[in-house]
Each structure stands twice: as C-alpha cells, then as structure tokens.
A and B are shown apart, each in its own frame.
Chain A
Amino acid sequence: MLEVEVLTPEGEVFRGEVRQLSTRTEVGEIGILANHAPVLGALQPTTLRLHVSDSETRRYAQSHGWLQVFDNVARVLVEEAVPPEDLDAGALKEELSDAERRVAESEAGTAEWSRAVKDKQRAETFLSIAQG
C-alpha cells in the first residue's frame, strides 16, 4: 500500500493508504503504485484518482500543483482538489469564457498571458469533469 497525502493551502483533503494513485504531470499520465521510485513532478489539471480498494476509487478535480513521491509516501500539493459533484458547471463556463477573453486580449508571451492560459486550462478541465 502507498501512503497518500493530498494537501491544499486551505487544508488537508485526503490522507490514507491507497493501492494506486493516478494523475497527470506535464509529461503525461502517471500512475503510482507502492514502492515507486522517487518522483518530483509538476501536475496539470485533471481527475486525480485514488484507488483506495478494489471497489472504491475516490475522484477529485485537481488543479495545477506538484507531486512528490518518496519512501512510499506520495504527497500531492494542489491548489484545489474538489470532489466532482461539488463542481458548479455554470460558474465554470463563466470562468472559461472570462479566461478565453483574457487570452485573446493579452499579448502572447507576457506574464499576464500565461496566467490567462493557465486559468483557461483549469476551467476547461474542470468543466469537462463537471459534465462527466
């Protein structure tokens, strides 16, 4: 079993043992099992899956963040980890169109632009999770 901590700035979301953790780094999908080699990765917005047992999988909509795997402990540091049923599709649609507008308005390459791109990515992913 792999020990997992999911931490956000606003508190702990999950702590416990799981069979497998799957998420997505910038390089691609990643699945972590027990005794995985040490990893440090930047996470992209996606569905974070924690396979607690054969019959139980916990899902969270996960925003940008970081993953550290060391000594059989996986620590997921993300800004948000929200159960899919708590997402508000209507609000996300607004956030998405706001982000798209900002991407279009800002000059490519500026810090303002990359911020808008990140927001868009998050809103898109969360929206698709919310819509199942």
Chain B
Amino acid sequence: MASQKEVKNRIASIKNIQKITRAMEMVAAARLRRAEQRIEDLRPYSEGMRKLTRIASAHAGGVPRVPVLVERQNVQTVGLVLVTGDRGLAGAFNSNIIREGMRSADRVRGEGAGPVFSVVGKKGVSAMTFRKQELVGEYTGFTDRPSFADARRIGEELVARYVDEEVDRVELIYNRFVSPLTQHVWRQTLLPLQQAEVVGEGAEEEEEATAEDESGGSQGRSEWFFEPEAEELLGRLIPEYVTISVYRALLESSASELGARMTAMRNAAENAESINDELTLEMNRARQAEITQEILEVVAGAEALS
C-alpha cells in the first residue's frame, strides 16, 4: 500500500488539475456567451441581404448565369474545407472534423474525383499535415474570434479557385452549434451555390417580394431605382452568400468549440473530484493502518514487560 505521504502528494496534484479545469470551464462559459451573441449579430445583416436579393431578383429579367451558380458536369477535383480550432482540450471537437474530412475524401475518391483540402485552425492543420495531406489553404490564428474579414478572405479564395476552375465543387465541414452541450458535425455544399437557396423558390418568394413592394402603397414595382441594373446587382449579390455562409460556419464552429471545451473541462473537473474521493479514502486507510500498527507495537511491548 502507498504511504500516506505519497497519497497526499497525489491528492495535491489532482486538486491542482481540478482548479485548472474549473477555471478553463468558466473561461469557456464566459466566452461562449459572447460567441453566441456574435451569431445573433449576424442575423439582421443576413436577413437584410436576403430581402435585397429577393427584390433584385423580382425585378431582374432572370437570374444571371453567375459562375458560382453553375454546376459542373464533370467533377474532377473537390475542395474540402475543414473548420477546426486553434486549440485542443475540447473533447472530440477537432477530431470529429478530421474524421469526417477523411471520410469525405474517401467518398470523393469513390466518385472518381480528387480531394484537395483547405483547413481552418491550427489543430486541423497539424493533424492533416501529420496525415501527409497536401493543403491548398491554411487559415489560422483567429478561430477564437473570427472576423468577417477572415471569412471574406477564405470565401473569396474558394470562389476564385472555383471560378478559375481549379476545383469543381466545394464542401464545408464544421461543427454546428446546437446548444452548449451539443454540437453536430455538419457538411454543406458551398459551391456551386444552390439558386433556390439564394433567390428563393420562385413563385412563392416572388409574391413575398411583391408584397413588400406594395406595402408602401403607391410605390409600385416599376418605381424602383437600381444602381446598377437589377440583373447586374443580382449577379454581384449572389457571390456574397459564399462569404456569409463561411462567416456563419466560422461563428458556429467557434461557439461549438467553446461549448465542447466547457463540457470537456466540466467532465475533467468532475472526474478529478471522484479520484480525489478515492484517494482520500485510501489515505485514511493508510493512516488507520499506521495507527493500528503502532498500537499493536505498544500493546505487544507492554505484554512482554508484564
């Protein structure tokens, strides 16, 4: 049996670990609130963009053939964008993405195409480099607090690669934030953009846009001024959806990472607690054994004298 002193040392170190994990849990919880707020902050902007696009699309002769909407018949290269975090200690947050990424790569190869990876987050970059995968894009240093400019850089590089025909499809793989306790690995086809998603499903959406037109009373549909023309405006608005989607994915992933870390750290702290209980029991037993031993020695000594 371990000596009292050894057990005491272990208890002290477990207590230290527990303090650290508790602190990390609390930091993650505080940051999570802000991350959730940033998801909320995006909503008015993306809603505004949606309305704008519908109005432009209702007045344009037709949806222009912008390159990001065009689906390729012959898919040779598929870009896989993996969104991970810069830091670990967040349970399976990063490894789930890597696993899904490798699985998607197999699926792409099964379709007879070649996968190319772009990775967000240091953890993902090192994991993929370790797996000897070639990366065409590495984006690190901002997963704690992604800015729209980060999303723009990623989005525009992806669009450029798609338009310039280096890739024929782009899939985005990230952790979707459901609640602090639940994150889902999510796979989304980013490019080509789905026309229905952007300009609406046609008739029904058109009605909605018209309703908005007419809510202004005399301001009928012919009185709108477009600078530039509606078709061109629409053509320019559509690619914006890529950046907004990327930004949303970065925000969701960032909130998910904090949620995952919070849960992982809480589990670690609870685990430390139960190890501590066991060790305390063991220490008490060791102390008891020592005392019993001492008593036995005293009694034996006394008996020998009498």
What is the interface size of chain B, counting residues whose CB is below 8 A from a CB of the partner? 40
Measured between beta carbons, the chain A residues less than 8 angstroms from B67 are 111
Q: Is A27 a contact of B44 with CB atoms below 8 Å?
A: no
- Which parts of A33-68 form the interface with B (CB within 8 Å)? 37-42, 66, 68
Once bound together, how far apart are the Cα atoms of A110 and B161, in whole Å?
10
Measured between beta carbons, the chain B residues less than 8 angstroms from A79 are 148-149, 152
Measured between beta carbons, the chain A residues less than 8 angstroms from B136 are none
Option from A12, A30, A70 in Cβ contact (under 8 Å) with B212: A70
Q: Is A77 a contact of B219 with CB atoms below 8 Å?
A: no
Provide the A1-26 mask, 1 if CB < 8 A to any CB of B, else 0.
00001011111100000000000011
What is the interface size of chain A, counting residues whose CB is below 8 A from a CB of the partner? 29
Given the known inter-chain contacts A37-B225, A40-B55, please indicate yes or no for A75 contacting B148, CB distance below 8 A: no
- Which parts of B203-240 form the interface with A (CB within 8 Å)? 212-213, 215-216, 219, 223-228, 230, 233, 236-237
B interface, over-half SS: helix
Once bound together, how far apart are the Cα atoms of A45 and B148, in whole Å?
16
Once bound together, how far apart are the Cα atoms of A38 and B210, in whole Å?
13
Given the known inter-chain contacts A27-B228, A71-B215, please indicate yes or no for A110 contacting B49, CB distance below 8 A: no
Q: Of all chain B residues, which has the CB nearest A110? A: B164
Measured between beta carbons, the chain B residues less than 8 angstroms from A10 are 38, 41-42, 147-148
B102 at the interface (CB under 8 A from A): no
Measured between beta carbons, the chain A residues less than 8 angstroms from B226 are 39-41
B159 at the interface (CB under 8 A from A): yes
Q: Report the 6 A-B pairs with minimum CB-CB distance, sorted nearest first.
A: A111-B160, A41-B227, A11-B41, A9-B148, A25-B227, A111-B163
Can you report 13 A-B residue pairs in the complex whose CB atoms are below 8 A from each other?
A9-B45, A9-B46, A9-B148, A10-B42, A26-B227, A27-B228, A38-B225, A40-B52, A40-B55, A66-B237, A68-B52, A71-B219, A111-B164
A-to-B contact residues, CB < 8 Å: 5, 7-12, 25-27, 30, 37-42, 66, 68, 70-71, 75, 77, 79-80, 110-112, 115
B-to-A contact residues, CB < 8 Å: 38, 41-42, 44-46, 48-49, 51-52, 55-56, 67, 147-149, 151-152, 156, 159-160, 163-164, 212-213, 215-216, 219, 223-228, 230, 233, 236-237, 244, 247
